[in-house]
Amino acid sequence: MLTIRVLEKNLEVEEGTSFETIAKQFQSYFKSPILLAKQNNKLIELSHKIQQGGEVMFYDITCMEGMRVYHRSVSFLMIKAVKEMLGKKASVVIEHSLHKSLYCEVREKDVEVNQKFLDTLTEKMKNLVERDIPINKYAFHRDDAIEKVREFGMENKARLFRFRRSSNINLYEMDGVYDYFYGYMVPSTGYLKSFQLMLYENGFLIRFPDRKNPNEILKFTDPEKVSSVFMEQMKWCSLMKVNNVADLNEAITDGKFGDLVRINEALHEKKVAEIADKIYKKRDKVKVVLIAGPSSSGKTTFANRLCVQLRVLGIIPHAISLDDYFINREDVPIDEFGNKDFEDINTLDLKLFNDHITRMIAGETVEMPHYNFVTGKREYNGNYVTLENGGIFVIEGIHGLNDLLTASITAENKFKIFISAMTQLNIDDHNRISTSDSRLIRRIVRDNQFRGRDATTTIAGWDYVTRGEEKNIFPFQENADAIFNSATIYELSVLKQYAEPLLFKIEQSQSEFVDAKRLIKFLDYFLGANGDAIPNNSIIKEFLGGSCFKV
C-alpha cells in the first residue's frame, strides 16, 4: 500500500492503482472532467499506474495543462474520424490556432469540405465518443515507428523521426489508428464530449469549451485580419517548401539554411516597406503611428526598421515612450490577485498624454516628461519637442490599439500596427507550434542575455504576462490598420542552442520544471543551426544580441 495526498487528504492506495481510478473519487471537486495528473512535479496521464507515494494534483480544462490535453485528444478524435470517412491514408492537417480554436484542412483530391461533410464528420466523432474507445500508448523502435506512420499516410512524421535521437518513439492508438503527438492524452474517447466543428476559409475550425465556463463552447469572434496573415504565411511556407520541422531540418542538412535566413529577412523587409508605403499615402492626415503586440514580438526592432523606411520616404519619425507617462508608482491600480497591475491602461496618465499629443499635432512645443524608475515618479528635464513639417510620432506600447489611449486624437490622424510572432511552420501535420511557446523561448534567451534573469524567473512570470496580453492586447488586434508577423521559419533552430542550457538548469523540485521539460522536448525536434547568416537588423538579433539598433 502507498500513501498519497490529494486536495489535503491522505489516501491509502494499492500500488498499481491507476490515476484515473483515484481521479474519479475527487471528480466532484472539479468543474469539468479531470484529464491529467501531476506527482512529484511531473505530469502524468490518468492511464498510468501509481508507483510511489506523495502529493498528487489533478487538472481539468480550467487550467492550461488540462486544456492542452483536451485539444490534443480531440484532434486525434477528428483525425480518426476523417480516416474512417476517407481511408486510413487520408491527409488532414491541423494548421494553426485561431481565437482558441484549431484551423484544419482536409487535403484529399475531389473532397470538398462543406456543411454536409462537417455534419458527417461530427456524427462520426460523436459516435467514437459514445463508444468510449481506449486511447493506448505504445513504444516502438524508431524504424518500426517510421513504418507504422507511413502505413497511415503520415510521411511528414516519418521524415521527422529520422532526426530523433531516441531509439524508441511513443505512438498513440485509437481503434486501430496510430499517430504521434507531442504531449499527453486522455485515457479514452468518452472524455471528449464537448467540441464543435465550423466551416472556415478552405477548411474548418475545431471549437472547444470555454475554460471559464466548461459547460459551454467558447464564443467565436472571427479575427479576419489575423486569419488573413496566417493564410498568407501558409502559402508562403508552401512556396518555400518548408511547412514543418522535418523540412527545416532537411534544409539545414542540405546546406540551405543561409538561403532560408536571407529569403525570410527579405520578406520581413518587404512587409515593413509596404506598411511604410501605406503610411506615406496617408501622410497628409496621419500624425501618430501606434505599434502594439504581445511580449517578445520584436516590437522595438520593428519600430526601428519602420522608422528607417519612413525616412527613405521623406517622413521624419519621432519616437515617444509610453513609459514616460506612467503615473506615480504608489497610485498604480491593484489586480484581482492583490498585486499592482503595471499593465493596466490606467497606469498611464491618459489625460496628460492626449493633451501633449494633441498640442504637438497642432504645432505647439511641449516639454516631454521622463519617468524615473528608481523613484517611481515622473520628472521634467527640459526635453522640449516640436513636430516639424513632415514629422510623425511613432509610439510603441501594449495599449497602442486601444482607443482609450488616444481618445482625443481623431481616427484619421492615427495609423495602428499589430505585431506578433505568428508561427510559420508546425512540428508535423498534426502537431502545431504554439505562438506563445515561441515567444516564451525568445524571452528566455533575451532575459538571460540582457536582463540577467534565469529561465526560472522568466517562466515564473509568464502567466502574468499572458494574462495581461489577453486583457490588453488581443481584444484590440482587429483594430489594426496593418499586421506584421515577426516570426521566422528558421529562428528556433538558432534559439535552441541558447535556450536549452538555461532550461536544463531548472531542477525537478522547482515548480517551473514542468514547463522547462515540455520546452526541452519541443526543442529536441530541431537541428541546431549557426546564426552567422542572420543580419544585424533582424528581429531575431533583438533576442540573440548583436542588433544594430538600441533594443
**pLDDT exceeds cutoff 90 at 388:** no
Strands of 135-141's sheet, edge to edge? 135-141, 168-174, 177-179
- At residue 528, the pLDDT reads 96
In sign, the C-alpha dihedral spanning 23, 24, 29, 30 is positive
- At residue 165, the pLDDT reads 87
Distance of CA 62 to the CA centre of its chain: 18
CATH number at residue 177: 3.30.980.10
**pLDDT exceeds cutoff 90 at 517:** yes
- At residue 340, the pLDDT reads 86
DSSP state of 332: P
261 and 151 in a common domain = no
- At residue 389, the pLDDT reads 85
pLDDT tens digits, one per residue of 174-205: 999 999 999 999 999 999 999 999 999 999 99
Contact call for residues 484 and 272 (beta carbons, < 8 A):
yes
pLDDT tens digits, one per residue of 25-62: 999 999 999 999 999 999 999 999 999 999 999 999 99
Q: Which domain holds residue 9?
A: 2-60
Q: Rounded to whole angstroms, how far apart are CA atoms 161 and 241?
A: 19
461 and 386 in a common domain = yes
pLDDT tens digits, one per residue of 518-537: 999 999 999 999 999 999 99
Contact call for residues 485 and 315 (beta carbons, < 8 A):
no
The residues pairing with 59 across neighbouring beta strands, listed in sequence order, are 36
Decide if 480 is inside a domain. yes
**Domain edge (last residue) among 27, 42, 60:** 60
Quick one: average pLDDT of 253-265?
95
The pLDDT confidence band at residue 514, using thresholds 50, 70 and 90, is very high
144 and 42 in a common domain = no
pLDDT tens digits, one per residue of 424-469: 789 999 999 999 999 999 999 999 999 899 999 999 999 999 999 9
Percent of the chain with pLDDT over 90: 89
CATH number at residue 48: 3.10.20.30
385 and 275 in a common domain = yes
**Domain edge (last residue) among 196, 221, 246:** 221
Note the helical H segments in 254-376: 257-281, 299-312, 350-361
Quick one: average pLDDT of 271-293?
96
CATH number at residue 440: 3.40.50.300
DSSP state of 442: H
The pLDDT confidence band at residue 406, using thresholds 50, 70 and 90, is very high
Phi/psi of residue 488, each to 5°?
Answer: -125, 150
* The three cell numbers locating residue 102: 484549431
pLDDT tens digits, one per residue of 465-493: 999 999 999 999 999 999 999 999 999 99
Average pLDDT, the chain: 94
Nearest to 317 by CA among 413, 397, 393: 393
Distance of CA 369 to the CA centre of its chain: 35
Q: Rounded to whole angstroms, how far apart are CA atoms 14 and 10?
A: 13
Quick one: average pLDDT of 79-102?
95
Three-class SS state of 159: helix
- At residue 339, the pLDDT reads 84
Contact call for residues 75 and 179 (beta carbons, < 8 A):
no
47 and 70 in a common domain = no
Three-class SS state of 441: helix
**Domain edge (last residue) among 176, 196, 221:** 221
User: What is the identity of the amino acid at 202?
Assistant: N
Quick one: average pLDDT of 279-304?
95
Higher pLDDT, 313 or 231: 313
The pLDDT confidence band at residue 108, using thresholds 50, 70 and 90, is very high
- At residue 9, the pLDDT reads 92
Quick one: average pLDDT of 322-337?
89
- At residue 335, the pLDDT reads 85
112 and 44 in a common domain = no
- At residue 487, the pLDDT reads 94
Residue partners of 12: CB distance under 8 A and separation at least 6: 1, 2, 3
Higher pLDDT, 390 or 421: 421
**pLDDT exceeds cutoff 80 at 225:** yes
Phi/psi of residue 266, each to 5°?
Answer: -65, -40
253 and 209 in a common domain = no
Residue partners of 379: CB distance under 8 A and separation at least 6: 369, 370, 371, 372
- At residue 200, the pLDDT reads 96
190 and 146 in a common domain = yes
pLDDT tens digits, one per residue of 139-176: 999 999 999 999 999 999 999 999 998 899 999 999 99
- At residue 397, the pLDDT reads 87
Contact call for residues 82 and 174 (beta carbons, < 8 A):
no
User: What is the identity of the amino acid at 305?
Assistant: R
The residues pairing with 199 across neighbouring beta strands, listed in sequence order, are 204
Three-class SS state of 190: helix
Q: Any idea which of 284-293, 330-339, 351-360 has the lowest mean pLDDT? A: 330-339
- At residue 336, the pLDDT reads 82
- At residue 445, the pLDDT reads 97
Three-class SS state of 510: coil
For 119, half-sphere exposure in the C-beta direction (CA atoms, 13 angstrom radius) is: 3
Report the domain count for the chain.
3
Nearest to 541 by CA among 434, 418, 442, 395: 442
**pLDDT exceeds cutoff 80 at 330:** yes
**pLDDT exceeds cutoff 90 at 337:** no
Decide if 550 is inside a domain. no
User: What is the identity of the amino acid at 176?
Assistant: G
- At residue 423, the pLDDT reads 79
Decide if 549 is inside a domain. no
Distance of CA 335 to the CA centre of its chain: 24
259 and 147 in a common domain = no
Decide if 284 is inside a domain. yes
Decide if 355 is inside a domain. yes
- At residue 425, the pLDDT reads 86
- At residue 160, the pLDDT reads 96
Decide if 551 is inside a domain. no
Q: Terminus-to-terminus CA distance in the chain, angstroms?
A: 58
* The three cell numbers locating residue 300: 522595438
User: What is the identity of the amino acid at 427?
Assistant: I
241 and 100 in a common domain = no
Decide if 524 is inside a domain. yes
The pLDDT confidence band at residue 2, using thresholds 50, 70 and 90, is very high
Nearest to 493 by CA among 159, 180, 294, 247: 247
439 and 348 in a common domain = yes
Distance of CA 203 to the CA centre of its chain: 21
**pLDDT exceeds cutoff 90 at 348:** yes
277 and 130 in a common domain = no
Alpha carbon separation from 336 to 319, 333, 341, 464, 467 (Å, rounded) = 33, 10, 9, 12, 11
Decide if 98 is inside a domain. yes
- What DSSP letter does each residue of 69-89 carry, written as one string? HHHHHHHHHHHHHHHHHH-TT
